[in-house]
Each structure stands twice: as structure tokens, then as C-alpha cells.
Amino acid sequence: MDAIDLRSDTVTKPSRGMLEAMMKADVGDDVFGEDPTVNALQARVARLFGKDDALFVPSGTMGNEICIKVHTEPGDEIIVDADSHIFVYETAAPSLLSGVQMSPVKGNRGVFTVEQLKAAVRARAYYLPATKLICVENTHGRSGGSVVPAGTLRAIREFAAAEKIKVHLDGARIWNACAASGADPKEFAGGADSISVCFSKGLGAPIGSMIVGDADFIERARRYRKIFGGGMRQVGVLAAAALYALDHNIERLKEDHAKARYLAGELNQTKGLRVDMEEVQTNMVIAETEPSGKTQAEVLEILKSNGVLMTSERRSAIRAVTHLDVSMEQVRRAAAIIRSLF
């Protein structure tokens, strides 16, 4: 029997319907701005988030890194959450590609208070780095996919605007934040100057992300996309997958959230594992392995040899992510296997 793959919602494969949409895509050279399917996707996503324009990019990482590049100059400083993807999982790319220094602030499940930000923003002096950008992640991956409320984001942006600082939202899983909170994408977008969103996580597309912002920002982002090697040609085949995902795979995200909630409850009742149930708001479950007396790696290996795949998270925890290629039935089976093992 195939393993139950809960490592990430990035592991999904395009469905038959999605593949058919990709085959039918009308394409053109997107470096010339001539791919009609990419143009349609960009216009649709810009509208969805209530911003002027949008730009298709190959990955969430490139989306974040282009935005950081556009918002900053080498020698600037950016405030990031100490547990964010940008700070932890992008191999120090902001330092390498934008020449900026990252100032990590420990948010509460990705939420910064204005007091924390006040303390982190540098005074304006020639001998200090200039704080130019605050990055927020929503949903917040290393906090079990918890949601940063739209009101919090707006308060952050209000504070930042008064300080002449921009706000970037890493919205790789903003769709899950919308599904869980009932908020419209525009409500989250109102709290940010730029947003990067992904189609290749919970939405089930094979590749593709998008940067959203005002017209001038996107024009500059287009230049850096080319510099970073992200200018693609007949990429309408991928934009068609993203359009299909927007049409078919948003409503169903709530099912993934229900699967995660079920799994979290089961793992939390498993001897040796501990889940912070308040974190479980979307499609992720992070379980502490410390009470089991086994290392994270040992637990992952035991699960793997019994047909359940998860990943490591934080220092001593394991992570499961539910998605459209794992059914409730498989999640129940995974939970039963885990409970029988510990």
C-alpha cells in the first residue's frame, strides 16, 4: 500500500481536470508579456486582492525574495519573524540577493505587537541600518499553520506607514487563512504593500506563485524577476493550472482543515506526543515528540516504516500537513497507525 504522505501540501499531483486545463491553455511568450493565460491569471489575482497588478513567478521563495529586493537597498534592515520561512528556510537569501540584514523578532504565532515593532525599528541615524520592511507570514507555518488576523496586519501596516516602512506579506497559504477566518483576500491585502501567494501548496497546482502590489511595485518586480532567472516563456500551461485551482480548490480547503483538526486531536491523545490544539487552525499539525523519550528523527523513522510520512518541525516536533491528495479515510488510518505505535 502507498505511504500516506503528510509531509507537506506541496506534494500534491495535478488532477486529471487540472491537466486537461493545462493542455488546453492558450500560450505566448511571457517575457514579452504575450501569454494570454498568464495575463488573465495576473489580472484575476490582482482583482482578488484589491491591488493594481500581479506578477507570476516560479516559486514562493522567489516571490518573497523579489519583494524584499524591490522594497530595500543593500545595507538596509528588514524585520522578520524569528520563525518565518524567510528567516529560517530561505538559506539567508535576503542577505545574499538584497544585501540586507535581517532583524528577527519572536512573534506570538507570527503576530507582532506594535510595541515589539517599536522596539525593533532603528532610530534614524547615519551609523545605524535603516529599517525598511516588516515581513509577516500568514498562515504561520512554524506555528502549526495558525492565522494572523486581518486586523493585526492592518495595525502593523498603520504603524509601519507612519514610520515610512513597507509591509510584505508571505501569503503562501493565505487561501487557508481566508478559509479559516472567513475573511476576504482583500482584508489581508489591506494590511500589506506587497503579497506573495502560492498555487502549489493547498491549491494543488504543480508550480507557481504570484506577487501582488501596486503598479509601480510590480513594474520593478518584473525587472528583478528577470534578473533572478524567473522570466518564463510559454508558461500559460502553469497559469492554467493556477486558474483551475482558483476555480476548484479553494472551497474545499475547509475539508483539509477538518482533517487536520481530527488528526491533531488523535495525536494529542497519543502517549508520548503533545499538540498545542490552539495552533491547529488550518491544515497543519505540529506534535512535540519530547514526551515520547525518542528523538524527532527516531519518531519520523518509526512512522515511515509503518507507511506514514511526516517531516521534522522546530527543535523536537514533527509536522503533518493535510491536502487534497490525502483523504479523511487515509488520515483516520494514519492516526490509528500512530496511536498503535506509541
- Judged by the rule CB under 6 A, the positions of this chain that interact with ligand TLP are 8, 10, 59-61, 85, 89, 137, 141, 170, 172, 198, 200, 209
Beta-bridge partner residues of 211: 55, 196
d(CA 245, CA 239): 10
**Judged by CB, which is closer to ligand TLP: 10, or 39?**
10
Please report how close the Cβ of residue 200 comes to ligand TLP at its closest, in angstroms: 6
Q: Which residues contact 145 (CB under 8 A, 6 or more apart)?
A: 139, 173, 176, 260, 279, 280, 281, 282, 283, 284, 321
Please report how close the Cβ of residue 89 comes to ligand TLP at its closest, in angstroms: 5
Do 203 and 29 meet the contact criterion of CB atoms below 8 Å apart?
Answer: no
**Judged by CB, which is closer to ligand TLP: 93, or 155?**
93
Long-range CB contacts for residues 97-100, cutoff 8 Å, separation at least 24: 97/65, 97/68, 97/69, 97/228, 98/65, 98/68, 98/69, 98/72, 98/74, 99/73, 99/74, 99/75, 100/68, 100/72, 100/74, 100/75, 100/76, 100/132, 100/133
**Judged by CB, which is closer to ligand TLP: 76, or 83?**
83
Please report how close the Cβ of residue 164 comes to ligand TLP at its closest, in angstroms: 26
Please report how close the Cβ of residue 30 comes to ligand TLP at its closest, in angstroms: 18
**DSSP-derived secondary structure for 245-290:** HHHHSSTTHHHHHHHHHHHHHHHHTSTT-EE-GGG-SSSEEEEE-G
**Judged by CB, which is closer to ligand TLP: 12, or 270?**
12
Q: How many residues does the chain have?
A: 342
Whole-angstrom Cα Rg for the chain: 20
d(CA 178, CA 208): 19
**Judged by CB, which is closer to ligand TLP: 121, or 133?**
133
| Spatial CA neighbour of 198 closest among 180, 228, 173 | 173
**Judged by CB, which is closer to ligand TLP: 12, or 292?**
12
**Judged by CB, which is closer to ligand TLP: 85, or 109?**
85
The strand pair at 77-81 and 101-105 is best described as parallel
Q: Measured at CB, which residue is nearest to ligand TLP? A: 60
Please report how close the Cβ of residue 123 comes to ligand TLP at its closest, in angstroms: 31
**Judged by CB, which is closer to ligand TLP: 57, or 121?**
57
